[in-house]
Amino acid sequence: MSEHVYKIIELTGSSESSLEHAIQNAVARAAKSVRNMRWFQVIDTRGHIENNQVAHWQVTVKIGFTLDEEGDES
């Protein structure tokens, strides 16, 4: 296994349908501007209630990604 240095960002994704979809939304949005994503960690879950029902799931995740190597043009 090669050695890596990771940078970590924290995001909150939301979804009307599920916790998993909220996580997928956060990862998909990060993928638009972050390269080399390697892992995520769920650090908080919560939801929004409307009319006595769950209206939105909210999941805060930390996403770890490797830094580009020096001289890497990708």
Strand partners, 64: 8, 39
> pTM above the 0.85 mark?
no
Q: Render pLDDT for 23-42 as a digit per residue (tens, 0 to 9).
A: 999 999 999 999 999 999 99
C-alpha 16, offset from chain centre:
17
Q: Which residue has the higher pLDDT, 23 or 71?
A: 23
Alpha-carbon Rg of the chain, whole angstroms?
Answer: 15
> Which residue, chain included where needed, has tokens 């939105």?
56
